[in-house]
Structure 1
Amino acid sequence: MSADLAKDTPTPPTSLRGAARGHVEAAVRTGLLTGRFIPGKAVTLRGLAADLGVSPMPVREVLQRLAAENALEVKANGRVQVPDMTPARFDEVLKARLLLEPELAERALPFLRSKDIRDLQKIDDDIDACLVSGDAESYMRLNHAFHFLIYQASRSQVLLPLVDSLWLQFAPFMRTVYGRVGTASLEDRHKEAIQAMKTQDATALKSAISADIEDGMGLLGKAILDASGPA
């Protein structure tokens, strides 16, 4: 794992132990969401601790927490890794996203302001540039930022953590997908979602989010799994 895992992470809390744990958690979550961790490849305590400049203790705490969220798994021999993606697991994650994310978007709609929509447009412009350049890691980071700018406006204390956990579970696999097929063929429904937010059309917003999930994850992910089996 390279040292750039720690870049662009939020400022950690003030307590020393809390600072280390917050730093590690932000870095590991970013690594999962941008595909720096590969499904099936071991994640080592010592390696992560060295990369992030901390002791193994906060790394262990963070990995245990992420294992409880199903983003990582701990083998009987103590090995920690990103779970392999299977067709059954993929279908469950996809169905859960289709159930929860349109609902979150609808709940967020009354709270989204003009500035939020301008910010979303800027993010989407940057995403378009990534798709052209083939920068898959930046695409994944920006795509997450786009969706969660919307979802966090919902102020949900129940659905939002569930969706956050789902993204941690599918992102490493999707990074392998983009590595195989590239980004030039990717399409999103972000512009449709932005237009629905401008007109306060909840039905159109839910439809755009559902279609975005189906197009961005569903079609490509299923095609790769069907062609080659588990990642």
Structure 2
Amino acid sequence: MSDQHAKLPDHQRVYRQLREMILFGELAPGQPVTIQGLVSTLDVGMTPVREAIRRLTSEGALAFKGNRRVSVPQPDLEQWKDIAFARLAVEPELARKATKRLGPDDLDRLSGYDDQLNAAIDKGDVRGYLEHNYRFHAYLYELADSEVLSSIANMLWLRAGPSLRVVLGRYGTANLPDKHAEAMEAMRAGDGEAVAAAIHGDIEQGIAQVRETLLSA
């Protein structure tokens, strides 16, 4: 558990822990998990686990399966097309908006996330790649200061992240989508359109990899 999580109330801490388990592939699409199992894994009472599950179910990140079981939804090809359409519409716009608000400290932080991502790729560290890729995008979108679009993007990442983990489990970290260097160069130049284009390309490559996996399943 991180120090940041440790300082939170139980219901917030459990929500964030479970959310990261989904985002970073510790819970795979279609994998059933019992509420009691999560209580044991997270070492907390049943009430905060139930609250976290309720919140994540409302966000589309979990689905009830009966008998106190939940699982990460497993999108089919048509659902993935919808996720892809929404991501490509929302996330480049957030990146464009964020570019206007970037300061030197923000650029340093984004560059740090990208360095950690590249190190994870070099080491074949799937969990590290998923985490630092998410941190990069999430921080950039936060800077856009767009509550509506950011909430949509967060929901889409919860639906898309586990499927990318499946791809990485099959193919490893070689040839992963990464247009962050292009995005960083455009950010430093203050070119919002170029940042949006780089983020669009980054997302599009990841979407294509998942689509190919779904088609071959």
TM-score normalised to structure 1 length: 0.90
Once the two structures are superposed, the pairs formed by residues 13-92 of structure 1 within 5 Å of their partners are 13=8, 19-75=9-65, 78-92=68-82
Instruction: State how far apart, in whole Å, the 2-side matches of 1:222 and 1:202 are.
Output: 28
- Partner SS, residue 91 of structure 1: helix
CA distance in 1, matches of 2:154, 2:177: 22
2:168 corresponds to: 178
**Are 1:220 and 2:200 an aligned pair?**
no
Name the aligned partner's letter for residue 23 of structure 1.
Answer: R
Q: Percent identity?
A: 36
- Once residues 51 and 174 of structure 1 are traced to their aligned partners in structure 2, the CA distance between those partners, rounded to angstroms, is 23
Mapped to 1, the partners of 2:197 and 2:168 lie a distance apart of: 24
Structure 1 residue 199 corresponds to structure 2 residue 189: yes
**Separation in 2, partners of 1:56, 1:78:** 11
SS in 2 for 1:111: coil
Which residue of the other structure, out of 92, 97, 101, is the alignment partner of 1:102? 92
Q: 1:9 to 1:89 in 2, by over 3 A?
A: farther
1:132 aligned onto 2:129: no
4+ residue runs of structure 1 moved beyond 2 angstroms?
Answer: 6-13, 75-79
Cα deviation for residue 83 of structure 1 reads 0.7
How far does residue 12 in structure 1 lie from its aligned partner after superposition? Answer: 3.8
Select 2:5's aligned residue among 6, 10, 14.
10
After TM superposition, give the deviation of residue 77 of structure 1 in Å: 5.1
- Retained in 2: the 8 A contact 1:109–1:197? yes
List alignment gaps of at least 5 residues for structure 2: none
**Paired residue type of 2:143:** A
**Residue 7 of structure 1, CA deviation:** 4.5
Contact 1:39–1:82 (8 Å) recurs in 2: yes
**1:116 matches 2:132:** no
Shift of 1:218: 1.6
Aligned residues: 217
CA contact under 8 A between 2:100 and 2:192: conserved in structure 1?
no
5+ residue gaps, structure 1: 1-5, 14-18
User: Normalising to structure 2: TM-score of the pair?
Assistant: 0.95
| Residue 8 of structure 1, CA deviation | 6.0
Q: Map of 1:153-192 to 2, 5 A cutoff? A: 153-192=143-182
